[in-house]
Amino acid sequence: MDDKTAGVEHLLVDYIRRLARFPGGRRAVIIHLSRLHADNRRAHHVRIAANTFEALVKQFDGQIFVLQSADIIFVCKGASVAAIDEAIGKLRYLFGDDPLAIADLGDDEPDPFASWFDLEHDYPAFLAIVEKLYEEAEKRKKRLQAITGEARDEREPLDPSGLAELVKTIARADLSNMLRRQAICTLAAGEAPKPILREIYVSIPDLRDAIMPRRDITSDRWLFQYLTQMLDKRVLSILRKNDDQAIAHSYSLNLNVSTLLSQEFMAFDQSLRPGARGSIVIELQKIDVFADLGAFLFGREFLRERGYRLCLDGLSSLTFPLVDRERLGFDLVKLFWTPDLADKLEGDRGADLRAALEQPGKSRVILARCDSEQALDFGHAAGLRLFQGRQVDRLLAIASGPGAATSLRKPGVRTTAAR
């Protein structure tokens, strides 16, 4: 299999783990194409086999994974055994000259061509299988790196042709596996954090490793900007179809200005329940806002009229004093923590920064990327109340008790990291 399949096992195990909360009505099938003769499992054979399940994917909330081994795993909800068996029958016919597909089995013999799982009853066994597949894929990757001497951090820059390939792949990929949530909390010194929002974002490292592991997809700012515009629309589509009550309200989305008046955002807006908009914060990057101020002002008025709140994201100690929150019409501003922020606040040269912290009202400043106790200490000393970052996640997990942090994935790098 080619490089584009690398990381599929990671997506698979992540997806199946997320199904632990609602396995009811779901079935999974493993099509063991790796057991076919080599002449019958070439790339075009595997593509045709995967396409056989397309109708079921659309009709029954299905997901299909083509593994590096050439095996295919299909998972769906609500499809009958007969409907799935019909698709498998087409594959048996496709590979009718291979002994695997036409094996004559007794009543109690396992089928070497396809393995079935009712996830309501077989979930632990199936999870163990996909975790083993993931472990084996990781071992293969390490062996390949050892042989070729390939370093993980040596990636080619993204170029227009690579972007076109990436966009095409993302259009077909299940990005719900890569959605992450990170809490924005009120946090007083010595107290447990209290979540008020959860930022929903796509993990760029997971996206890269799963789809294009040998490319640095953030290397070109403007190509990456185009990529994030597409990701915006995919995330909005996922949220529009989402039935997870944990993210039905009180969350933030980091979007491009150009996304605000897109058809995808309009469809997302129309899908919201009455009153939900007031609990949703739309975060906009500073560089995007000032790149086309006219488009921002138009989009801002639309959002405010609909009842959304706005946050200006991506501010540093240098840009923070230059921003007038009220004049721009933002409800919140997000300041990125860096280890030298405390030093920059001291002395005469920090006067502008100190004044800027007072200007928007400290309850409207989110100190983001708080990955250490030092960041929280700075925020408390500066009188800030809102915090976001890995250190906040750790405190939140401790406060929530054993096992309660499993619904919060490890923080990734957001799509905003290089916007």
Q: What is the pLDDT of residues 155-208, one digit of tens each?
A: 778 788 888 888 888 887 778 778 889 999 999 988 999 999 999 988 888 888
Residue owning tokens 């983001």 = 368
For the chain, give every residue range classified as CATH 3.20.20.450. Answer: 160-400
Provide the whole-model pTM: 0.61
Q: Which CATH number fits domain 3-148: 3.90.1170, 1.10.3470, 3.30.70, 1.20.140?
A: 3.30.70
Looking at domain 160-400, its CATH architecture is Alpha-Beta Barrel (3.20)
Instruction: Report the alpha-carbon distance of residue 186 to residue 366 in Å, rounded.
Output: 9
What digits encode the pLDDT tens for the residues 227-261? 888 899 999 988 888 766 656 678 999 999 999 98
In this structure, are strands 386-387 and 179-186 parallel, antiparallel, or unpaired?
A: antiparallel
Instruction: Report the alpha-carbon distance of residue 317 to residue 336 in Å, rounded.
Output: 8
Count CB neighbours of 193 within 10 A: 24
What dihedral do alpha carbons 134, 215, 282, 258 form, nearest 10°?
-140
Residue 407 has pLDDT above 60, yes or no: no
**Do 131 and 13 contact (CB within 8 A), yes or no?**
yes
User: What is the predicted pLDDT for the residue at 145?
Assistant: 62
Instruction: Report the alpha-carbon distance of residue 52 to residue 87 in Å, rounded.
Output: 6
Residue 403 has pLDDT above 80, yes or no: no
Residue 103 has pLDDT above 50, yes or no: yes
For the chain, give every residue range classified as CATH 3.30.70. Answer: 3-148
User: What is the predicted pLDDT for the residue at 30?
Assistant: 93
Residue 406 has pLDDT above 60, yes or no: no
What digits encode the pLDDT tens for the residues 287-319? 888 878 889 999 999 999 999 999 999 888 888
